Amino acid sequence: MKKNWFSFLIVGSMLGIMGTIALAEDSSHIVSSNIISSSEIQSITSSSTSEEVMTASSAETTKNTEEMPLKNLQTVDSIQHFYPEQYGVLSKDETFYYETAEDAKDGTNPKEIDDLSSRLVKIVDLYTLDNQSIYHFFSDSDQEGFIEINKIDRTESKKFVTITDKISQNSVYKDMKLEEKVDESLVKNKTLKVQEEFTVNEETYFSLVGTDNKIIGFINKKEASETENAQGAYQSLGSYLNISEKNKDVYQNFEFDKKNNTSNLLNQTFLAKGIYYHSNGENYLSVFNQKNKWIGYINQKDVNLTPNKQGNYQAYGKYVTLTKKNYDIWGNFAWKSKAKAGKYANQTLIAKGIYYHFNGEKYLSLYDNKGNWLGYINANGTTIAEGAQGSYYPYNKFVTIKSKNYDFWNSFKWSKRGSSSSVVNQTFNARGIYYHFNGSKYLSVYDNKGKWLGYINQNAASVAKGPQGSYQNFNKYVSVTTSNYSIWQNFDWKKKSSTKNYRNQTLHAKGIYRHYNGEDYYSLFNNKNQWLGYVNKNGVTLAEGRQGIYHSYWKNVTFSSSNYPIWRDFSWKKQNTSFKVSGKTLMARGIYYHFNGSSYYTIYNGNTWVGYINVNADQNYDMNKLIPNTESLLAVHQITQQKILDSAKRPSSIIDKVLSMPTINRNQITFRDNHFVVSLKGRGLGMDSVKLTAKEIAPGVNYRLLPADQIKGAIPKLKGNQKYIALTFDDGPNPYTTPQLLNILKQKKVKASFFMVGNGVNANPNVAKRVANEGHQIGSHSYSHPQLTGLSTNQIQQEMRATDKAIYYATGKLPKTFRPPYGAINRYVSNVVSKPAIMWSIDTRDWESRNPYMINNVVNNNHHSGAIILLHDIHQPSVNSVSQMIDNLRQKGYQFVTIDELYEMGERPLNGYFSQYRSVRY
C-alpha cells in the first residue's frame, strides 16, 4: 500500500483546521486502555483541547506532523502521537480498515485487512475525527491505515520484567514480527518496564521499555520473570563482597530510604544472598553479615564481588610482628594448617596483602625477607610494626658488648651513632628489642646513667644473668693489696669474705665481670682451685704472673738453710748455682707472695742481684705478720695454755693460774732452734717458757708463712666442689642419751661437735672422755647454762673457767670454742670469754617439738652447704632423729665435719660463726 504523508510546512489557517496537536513525549501522556468505552472516548476527545495536552514546539510539530496522512486533513479534530510507540493486536473480528481519515469518517472505501488479524501492529497515533470518532493510525510492515480504537486489543501495564541467566537463551524479540531477537547484552540481567500486554496466536507478550523510554523489544510472558516492583524480581546470588569505597549509601528499601553508609562497613566482607536488577539500570545486592543479620541493599558498583568467603585480596604492604604463638598459619582458606605462629614467634614479616574474611576476621598474607610466602594468619596473632624493624618489645636484660665490629644506630634508617669498639666488654641495660625484617635482632641500649646509646645488633652482645654482665675469661693473677674491700658471694651483694683475710696473697682471677655499675669484678680462686668470691678490681693489683706483685721489703736476712734453690726467674727454669746463701746475711729488697702459697725474697749481695729464694730459707719470722691481729694472738694464747698444761708435771696445781693468766703478747714469742718459744717468766707456772712447733702454732697464725712440710696435717682442708654440714649438740653430756648418740655416730662414721655444760661434765666425766676419744670436738657451753649477757665480768669468767677445768679434767684438753647459752652474746661477753663463739644456721627447736619427724622436717626444709645444725643430746627424741637425719643429708650429697674442719681451723676469738660462709666480728 502506498504511504501518503504531507509536509509539515502548513500555514496557520491549516493549523486552525487541525486544532491542537498534542505531543506526548513521556509515558504519562499515553492512553492506558484495553477496549475503550464511549465515556473514555469522550474523555479523550475533550482532553484534546484541555491544558493537559502539551502544545508542541515548532521543531516537535514539524517532526510529528510529517508522520500524518497526507489526504483529508480537514476531517481531523486532533492528533495524539505516541512516544514511545505503542503496540496492540487487531481484533479477530475486524476485517477492514481505512486508508484515510476521510474514508474513516465517511465509512467509505474500506480495505481488507488480509492477514493482519491477530497480528502485532504498531500504533502510531490517536486521531479524533470531526465526527467525534476515535481511530488509531496503525502500521505494519505491509499495511497501514486507520482503524477504530476499540478494534485493537492492548493493555497498559505497570509491571516489570527481570531477565536473568536463568531464562533459556535470549527470549526478547526485536520487532513485532516476533522473529528476530535483540542483542543479549541489552537485556541480560536487567529489569525492564512493561508498557503493555497483548496476545498473539494465543501467546501473551510484553512490550519492554528501557531506561531511555524507548521500546527495546518483546518477550513472551512465559519466558519472563514479572514483578510489580521497579527493582525487579529477587534473584538468588550467594556471592561474597568486599566493601572498599566510603560514603556510599546502604538502603533500607527501594524507596531508597538510607539505612547505613559504607564508611561504617569499610573493608568488611559480607554475603550477597540476592541481587535485584533494578529498572533504573543499577544492580542492588541484598547483603547479610556472618551472623545472618541483614545489612541492607547496596549498589553493586560500590562493592567488589568475590566467590570466596575470604573476600578479595587487597594490597597491604605493612610489616608485622608475630606475637601470639598459638595461632595457625594457614596454607589456604580451607583452613589447612601450614605452620604454627610459634615457629616465627617475635619475628618481623611483611604482610603484602590482607583479606577481610566473611567470618569477621582479618587475614594477612605473610612473606619472609627472602620473598617466601609463609601463609595466611589471623591479624590478631600479629602486631603492626612502625617499619621493617618490627615492634618494640620490652627486654630489660643486661648485656655485655663482646665485639668491636658493630655500629650503634640512631634509627632504623641506619644513621650511624657510634661504634661498639668504644664500649667493648662493658655491660649495659638493653631495655628493648626489635626483631627486624632483615632477620637480625636489635637491642635498644642504655648505660648506667640512663643515657641511650642507640640500637645495636644483638650479635654484638651476650645476654648476662644480671647487672654484673657476662662472664669473661680473664686468667690472670692478682695480688690482694687492700684490707677494706668485700669479697662477694654473689651479685646480690651477699658478703662472703673480705680482702683483709687474703692480704698480700696472690690469687687467680679466672674471670672478670664488667658490671653495669661501671666497676669490674674478678672471680677469684686460690691455689687449690677453691672459689673465693667476687672482688672489685680496685681491691687487688694485677700481677705479671703467678708470683704476684713485687712488695718492697728492704730487710737483712740471715739464711740458715742451703736446701732452697735460688731462682733466676719464676718459670723455674734457671737457677743460680754459683752462690751459696747458707750462713750469709743478704739484703731482701723485695718479696713476692706466690700463688703456690710460698713467698720469695728477691735478694742482693751488695748491689748485685742474686735471685729469688723461698722465704723459708730465712728462719726468722716477723711476728706482726705471723700473728696479724688480736684474734690471732688470742688463738695463740689458747694454744699456749694447752701447751703449758701438757708440759706441767702436776697440771692441777697450776690450772687456775693458766686459765687466768694475762694474754701473751708478740714480744714474748721468738723463733729459736726451729721452735716458737713463748716466754713465761714471772708467771709462777713452774716454767720459764714453752716451745711450740710450727704444726702446733699453725691453727692460730697465718700458717701460709710457715714451711708447708712442717705443718702438714695441722690444717684440715675441704674440697671446693663438696657440700659440708656440721652437727652440733648442746647441754650434754647425759649418761643415758649421749652414749646412744655416740653409738649412732660411730655406726654412721660421722664426727660431730659437742658444747657441754660444766656441771654435766663433772657429773659424767667418762661420757665426756668417750666423746673426745672417739674423735668428736668439744666446746664450752658455760657451767650452769645462764644467760651470759646478764652476768658481770667475774661471773662470766667463773662460768667459763669452771667449765674449762671440768672438760680438761675429763679429756685432758681445754675447749677452744664456746657456744653462749640461749645464743645470748654481745661484744662485752665476747671480749670476756675470748673464745670463738659457735652459733648456728639451722635451729631444729628439738627441745620444743620433742618429735623426730618434726626435727628432721626442719632440717630437710632448711639444709644448705656450710650449715651448722643445732640439736640437744640430752633429749631422747633428738637422739632418735639423728640416724634418719644423717641418711637424708647424705642422700643430698652432704659430708659431715666438725667445727674445726668446717672452718679449717680458722675460727678465731672475738668472732661469731653461724655457718661456713657467715661470720661476724663482735
Query: What pLDDT does 47 receive?
Result: 38
Q: Is the pLDDT of residue 482 over 50?
A: yes
**Among all chains, which residue has been given the C-alpha cell 716458737?**
676
| 8 Å CB contact between 537 and 521 | yes
Look at the pTM and tell me if it is higher than 0.75. Answer: no
Query: What pLDDT does 169 receive?
Result: 55
Query: What pLDDT does 22 receive?
Result: 34
pLDDT in tens, 407-429: 999 999 999 999 999 999 999 99
pLDDT band for position 496 (cuts 50, 70, 90): very high
Most confident of 37-41, 403-407, 704-708: 403-407
User: What proportion of the chain, given as a percentage, has pLDDT over 70?
Assistant: 89
Q: Is the pLDDT of residue 735 over 70?
A: yes
Q: Is the pLDDT of residue 825 over 60?
A: yes
| 8 Å CB contact between 477 and 550 | no
CATH number (2.30.30.170, 2.60.40.1840, 2.60.120.260, 3.30.450.40) of 472-542 reads 2.30.30.170
Return d(Cα 41, Cα 45) in angstroms, integer: 6
The CATH code that applies to domain 723-921 is 3.20.20.370
Domain 392-463 fold is SH3 type barrels. (2.30.30)
Cross-strand partners of 463: 399
- Quick one: average pLDDT of 189-193? 90
Return d(Cα 88, Cα 266) in angstroms, integer: 51
Question: Of the candidates 697, 641, 647, which has an alpha carbon nearest to the alpha carbon of residue 664?
Answer: 641
CATH 2.40.50 for domain 551-619, yes or no, is no
CB atoms within 10 A of CB 301: 10
452's grid cell: 641511650
| 8 Å CB contact between 114 and 143 | yes
DSSP, collapsed to helix, strand or coil, labels residue 565 as: coil
pLDDT in tens, 882-919: 999 999 999 999 999 999 999 999 999 999 999 999 99
Query: What pLDDT does 175 receive?
Result: 80
Return d(Cα 474, Cα 524) in angstroms, integer: 10
Query: Residue 561 region, left (φ>0) first, then alpha (ψ -120 to 50), else beta?
Result: beta
Q: What residues are labeled active site?
A: 730, 872
353's grid cell: 596483602
CB atoms within 10 A of CB 609: 13
Average pLDDT, the chain: 87
CATH number (1.10.510.10, 3.40.630.10, 2.30.30.170, 1.20.1340.10) of 314-384 reads 2.30.30.170
Return d(Cα 838, Cα 780) in angstroms, integer: 10
pLDDT in tens, 426-477: 999 999 999 999 999 999 999 999 999 999 999 999 999 899 999 999 999 9
Return d(Cα 496, Cα 378) in angstroms, integer: 54
618 vs 428 pLDDT, higher one:
428
Query: What pLDDT does 818 receive?
Result: 98
DSSP, collapsed to helix, strand or coil, labels residue 154 as: coil
Query: What pLDDT does 131 receive?
Result: 66
Question: Of the candidates 248, 247, 297, 239, which has an alpha carbon nearest to the alpha carbon of residue 269?
Answer: 239
- Quick one: average pLDDT of 846-871? 97
Pairing of the two strands 540-542 and 472-480 = antiparallel
pLDDT in tens, 48-97: 333 333 333 333 333 343 444 434 445 677 777 777 778 888 776 666 88
Class of domain 235-306: mainly beta
